[in-house]
């Protein structure tokens, strides 16, 4: 039986399915593998079921005497794995697209509504005991229905957000995407990011993290946003210049709904003290059915590798 490391406690269904097929070791911790631990794992197990926060960098893959032939990553984003280094080492890698698209798009809508309607602030007010009753000008937010939404990255999740915005909230959709996209609902592609930032009432970031997308949304881009606009990030923290975003939020001109941060789980105090920002702990795919589907997809890939078949969700192919 092949050995399989689970780098976290995954859903019970995932663990049970894994244990039926592999000799499983569970690392029962919530933090990610360090580069050193990732390297050791590559030397110690035939296959690894990992997730974001596990640091499979080029340094980890440089370790000698690797035993691992397959990394199944739980999640669609894979900026925690140096896929080129894995490929050079002959280690197969897969991710879990599609199964979390709806859950993540739903979370984007949650953040849009919470931020525009000041729901986090309102919840804090009620819990603090400081609410003195309804009055006509209390905690006025921004109307969402019919506004213009700007999507950065029109991939699967971007399109799912756009659909919800268009069909559910009657929003006009504009988007910035490096390549042209053919979508089956009304949406206008904008050629440059600054154009999108300056025209949208609500901006949602859905591009993958790392590489050329690092700090794609910088101070200049944030400065283009109109007064009262809402900025939402459900992608990866490094896509946004976090310091510049905090400075822009501190001016009070825009508000933000964030699910991701540059150095998770560290969230800067300068962000936590601001009332015009909703902060969630990376909940994008955090629904039980979704996480079980992600676990099953990751395992399906590991099984395909174990049986010598092509991976259904391969991140590199021969």
Residue 261 CB, shortest distance to ligand DGY, in Å, is 12
Q: From residue 164 to residue 193, what is the string marking binding to ligand DGY with x (rule CB under 6 A)?
A: ------------------------------
**Near ligand DGY in 276-315, by CB under 6 A:** 284-285
Point out which span in 31-39, 72-80, 83-91, 244-252 binds ligand DGY (CB under 6 A). 72-80
Angle, helices 288-306 vs 12-21, to 10°: value is 20
C-beta neighbour count of 291 within 10 angstroms: 21
Q: From residue 20 to residue 59, what is the string marking binding to ligand DGY with x (rule CB under 6 A)?
A: --------------------------------x-------
Q: Are 50 and 7 in contact (CB under 8 A)?
A: yes
Q: How many angstroms separate the CA atoms of 115 and 117, rounded?
A: 6
Point out which span in 2-10, 74-82, 174-182, 225-233 binds ligand DGY (CB under 6 A). 74-82
Site for ligand DGY (CB under 6 A): which residue of 75, 120, 237, 295? 75
Instruction: Return the structure tokens found at 82.
Output: 């140096």
Given the residues 121, 194, 264, 292, the one annotated as active site: 264
Q: What is the DSSP string of 269-300?
A: HHHHT-TTEEE--S-TT-SHHHHHHHHHHHHH
Burial class of residue 247, CB neighbours in 10 A (0-12, 13-18, 19+) = middle
Given the residues 8, 55, 92, 282, the one annotated as active site: 282
By the rule CB under 6 A, 77 interacts with ligand DGY: yes
Site for ligand DGY (CB under 6 A): which residue of 39, 100, 217, 254? 100
What are the angstrom distances between the C-alpha of 260 and each of 73, 91, 107, 263? Answer: 18, 28, 12, 9
Longest Cα–Cα distance of the chain, Å, equals 69
Given the residues 236, 242, 248, 291, the one annotated as active site: 236
Is 236 an annotated catalytic residue?
Answer: yes
Q: Which residues bind ligand DGY (CB under 6 A)?
A: 52, 75-77, 100, 284-285
């Amino acid at each position: 039986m092949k050995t399989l490391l689970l780098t976290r406690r995954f859903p019970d269904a995932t663990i049970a399915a894994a244990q039926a097929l592999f000799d499983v070791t569970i690392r029962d911790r919530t933090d990610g593998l360090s580069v050193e631990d990732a390297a050791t794992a590559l030397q110690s197990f035939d296959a690894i079921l990992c997730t974001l926060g596990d640091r499979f960098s080029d340094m980890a893959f440089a370790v000698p005497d690797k035993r691992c032939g397959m990394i199944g990553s739980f999640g669609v984003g894979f900026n925690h794995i140096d896929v080129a280094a894995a490929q050079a080492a002959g280690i197969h890698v897969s991710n879990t697209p599609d199964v979390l698209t709806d859950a993540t798009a739903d979370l984007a809508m949650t953040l849009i509504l919470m931020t525009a309607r000041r729901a986090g602030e309102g919840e804090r007010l009620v819990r603090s005991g400081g609410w003195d009753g309804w009055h006509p000008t209390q905690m006025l937010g921004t109307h969402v229905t019919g506004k213009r939404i700007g999507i950065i990255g029109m991939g699967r999740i971007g399109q799912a957000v756009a659909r919800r915005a268009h069909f559910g909230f009657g929003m006009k959709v504009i988007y910035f995407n490096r390549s042209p996209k053919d979508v089956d609902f009304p949406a206008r592609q904008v050629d440059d990011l600054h154009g999108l930032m300056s025209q949208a009432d609500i901006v949602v970031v859905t591009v993958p993290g790392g590489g050329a997308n690092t700090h794609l949304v910088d101070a200049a881009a944030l400065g283009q946003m109109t007064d009262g606009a809402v900025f939402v990030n459900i992608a990866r923290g490094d896509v946004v210049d976090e310091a510049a975003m905090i400075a822009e939020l501190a001016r009070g001109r825009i508000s933000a709904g964030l699910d991701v941060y540059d150095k998770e789980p560290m969230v800067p105090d300068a962000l936590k003290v601001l009332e015009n920002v909703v902060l969630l702990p990376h909940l994008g795919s955090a629904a039980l059915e979704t996480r079980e589907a992600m676990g099953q997809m990751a395992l399906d890939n590991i099984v395909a590798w174990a049986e010598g078949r092509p991976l259904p969700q391969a991140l590199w192919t021969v």
